[in-house]
Structure 1
Amino acid sequence: MYQQQQAIEVILWNMLDKHPERSELMLQNLVKKFSDNPCAFNGKLPHVTLTSFQTLNAGRWLDDEMVNYFVKKWCFKSGTTLGFNTFLVCKVLFQETECINAREGFLTNVDEDTVRRWCAKAATAMIGTSGTGWDSVFIPINKDSTHWYSAHIDFRSKRIDIFDSLWDRCIQNRQKPLLERKNSKLMLVLMWLADVLGRMRGEDIMLKNNPNSDWICDPHFKVHFQANSHDCGVHMLWHLKHLLEFRQVRLGPECSQAHLRFKEERRIKGQEKLSALRFASRGTRGSSTHLTSVVNLSTIHSGAESRGIARILCSFHNMYSG
């Protein structure tokens, strides 16, 4: 049944991707249908208000409720990835609820207990037990209610990656020394989180002060860039789709599934000016820095909105008949 549903979704994705203007109109009509008749929306989506549902419309910025809905739904289907709730993220990983500054110093036993309880509850809901059937964690981050980005801890691949679709943040930081990069403090907190989750899985990760660790940590993983100020949430959910499908974000020809590729004709503004620039993509293995790849910026395109519309419509196509 699940494979049949996936096949139907792929067909719908391809059809909607071929007609982005029509897809956008369909999405607008779907949102308008419930906006004009709020009572018809009641009970359609658990824990989602009509106001939050309206943020799915083209040109809107996704809010916490919609992001949490998709993360929970898609991760639950995966059976192997725990999807963090955005409200848990700001409580455990950041100094403030706006998720601006990562926590510093030692995290408390209370923080660890909070993570353990939440993960045990999420795992039980997903696989029927609080045990170790899951092997990765997806972490959506809502920075000051203005920008979405995410992190991923993968125990099978032994990786911690941070994904951010803002091109300037990626370019500027990947050329800096490791400890001067914007997400370096957040990476330290994620390493602590990996240690905590590892103990839950019966693994002794020990990333802190361990130069011999075989884990790879990339605070600015290479991704497609957003073309505007509101696509960040769609980009983040697209990253989740890739992580569930490939266990990594794949660009261009690296993406073997056509329905998960970005449209190459949608480039970020000013991209052509940087097409000749090549920069080193660096990660960390333990405490050392190593060269992982060289990326030509002219190959990185942004087309999240049209494909995001297709994903959204596929998730809610049954609501047309409701």
Structure 2
Amino acid sequence: MRPFNEEEQRSIQNAIYGYGHDEDIISQDGMDSVQRQSMQTLKPGMWLNDEVIHYFYLMLSKRDEELCKIDPTRQRSHFFKSFFITKILNEGSASCDGKYEYRNVKRWSKKVPGKDIFKLDKILFPINMGNMHWIAAVIFMKKKRIEIFDSMGSDGSRYLNALFSYIQDEHMDKKKTPLTDIDEWELVPTQRATPRQRNGHDCGVFTCMFADFLSKDTALVFNQNHINQCRERIALSILNGKAII
């Protein structure tokens, strides 16, 4: 991760620590925005809220689009919000919490670049586990691999299985044929080398950084010692309107 220049550092400090009304809009893109009170969750020791995480994933999408314009051979990726997992597993429902239902997200693939998930390079998901912990999941479409990245080390099996079912149901619905290479797909729980948090509040930052590094095909070389710099990296990406390289 590159160091920030003086101007960038001033912008970061003002966005995170500056005075103003909680509802002030710090950054906006279409219908998505980040308020001052949400930016303040990027202070060290604070738990990131969903507004910051969702907006940062949007900034990753903006960067991905630009990188693909620079390199036409590069394939697009897509970045869903955590609502995808909430919907597909009926999380929070009194009658069917945890039940997989493809129909709940059947139309969501219309949002992806090219409107065809099978032409994407990766699909990245932030996941809010019980409103207590953030993790990331990634479908590596070309590698036929679905993997969980949890800074606390869980295997994420329910999410792996749900996303694999989604791939199969999406193929049947959109291509009108079963997925023919099911045996070639690999479901991978959190690996031993996945960076770990050493406290109870940085999971959202790790979830953002997993997507940041993986979406640009970079090894996960960060750790807990880098997290405050990562928080500033998220802030600057939000301020710039796209994730920084």
> Could you state the TM-score of these two structures normalised by the residue count of structure 2?
0.75
Structure 2 residue 209 is matched with structure 1 residue 238: yes
Give the C-alpha shift of residue 81 in structure 1.
1.6
| Equivalent position amino acid for 1:305 in 2 | I
| Equivalent position amino acid for 1:184 in 2 | S
Give the C-alpha shift of residue 225 in structure 1.
0.6
How do 1:200-211 and structure 2 match up within 5 A?
202=175, 204-205=178-179
From the superposition, tell whether residues 231 and 206 of structure 1 become closer, same or farther in structure 2 (CA, over 3 Å): farther
Give the C-alpha shift of residue 312 in structure 1.
2.2
Which of the residues 125, 144, 149 maps onto 2:130?
A: 144
Give the C-alpha shift of residue 304 in structure 1.
4.2
2:27/2:33 contact within 8 Å kept: no
Distance in 2, matches of 1:220 and 1:94, equals: 23
Structure 2 residue 24 is matched with structure 1 residue 41: yes
Distance in 2, matches of 1:55 and 1:200, equals: 40
1:27/1:58 contact within 8 Å kept: no
Give the C-alpha shift of residue 154 in structure 1.
1.5
1:227/1:303 contact within 8 Å kept: no
Give the C-alpha shift of residue 91 in structure 1.
1.7
Cα shift readout 1:231-263 (whole Å, capped 9, x = no counterpart): 1111111110122111xx734xxxxxxxxx32x
Which residue pairs with 1:303 in the alignment?
Answer: 225
Give the C-alpha shift of residue 28 in structure 1.
4.5
| Equivalent position amino acid for 1:234 in 2 | V
> Could you state the TM-score of these two structures normalised by the residue count of structure 1?
0.59
Structure 2 residue 105 is matched with structure 1 residue 115: yes
Distance in 2, matches of 1:113 and 1:81, equals: 23
2:124/2:137 contact within 8 Å kept: yes
Distance in 1, matches of 2:171 and 2:213, equals: 23
1:139/1:152 contact within 8 Å kept: yes
Q: Which has the higher helix share?
A: 1
From the superposition, tell whether residues 184 and 230 of structure 1 become closer, same or farther in structure 2 (CA, over 3 Å): same
Cα shift readout 1:125-184 (whole Å, capped 9, x = no counterpart): xx4x42454232111111222211011112111101011001xx45xxxxxxxxxxx533
Distance in 1, matches of 2:11 and 2:34, equals: 20
Structure 2 residue 3 is matched with structure 1 residue 15: yes
Give the C-alpha shift of residue 316 in structure 1.
4.4
- Which fold has the larger relative contact order, with Cα–Cα distance below 8 Å and residues 6 or more apart in sequence? 2
Distance in 1, matches of 2:89 and 2:53, equals: 18
Secondary structure in structure 1 of the residue aligned to 2:166: helix
Structure 1 unaligned segments of length 5 or more: list them.
1-12, 171-181, 252-260, 263-300
Which residue pairs with 2:16 in the alignment?
Answer: 31
Distance in 2, matches of 1:97 and 1:75, equals: 30
Structure 2 residue 142 is matched with structure 1 residue 220: no
| Equivalent position amino acid for 1:307 in 2 | Q
Which residue pairs with 2:120 in the alignment?
Answer: 134
Structure 2 residue 81 is matched with structure 1 residue 85: yes
Which residue pairs with 2:219 in the alignment?
Answer: 250
Structure 2 unaligned segments of length 5 or more: list them.
66-75
Which residue pairs with 1:6 in the alignment?
Answer: none
Structure 2 residue 153 is matched with structure 1 residue 183: no
Secondary structure in structure 2 of the residue aligned to 1:38: coil
Distance in 1, matches of 2:233 and 2:107, equals: 32
From the superposition, tell whether residues 196 and 32 of structure 1 become closer, same or farther in structure 2 (CA, over 3 Å): same
Task: Pick the structure with greater CA Rg.
Answer: 1
From the superposition, tell whether residues 143 and 39 of structure 1 become closer, same or farther in structure 2 (CA, over 3 Å): closer
2:23/2:35 contact within 8 Å kept: no
From the superposition, tell whether residues 318 and 156 of structure 1 become closer, same or farther in structure 2 (CA, over 3 Å): closer
Cα shift readout 1:187-209 (whole Å, capped 9, x = no counterpart): 221210121334467474367xx
Give the C-alpha shift of residue 113 in structure 1.
3.5
- Alignment: residue pair count: 222
Secondary structure in structure 1 of the residue aligned to 2:107: helix
2:26/2:35 contact within 8 Å kept: no
How do 1:71-82 and structure 2 match up within 5 A?
71-79=57-65, 80-82=76-78
Distance in 1, matches of 2:47 and 2:22, equals: 24
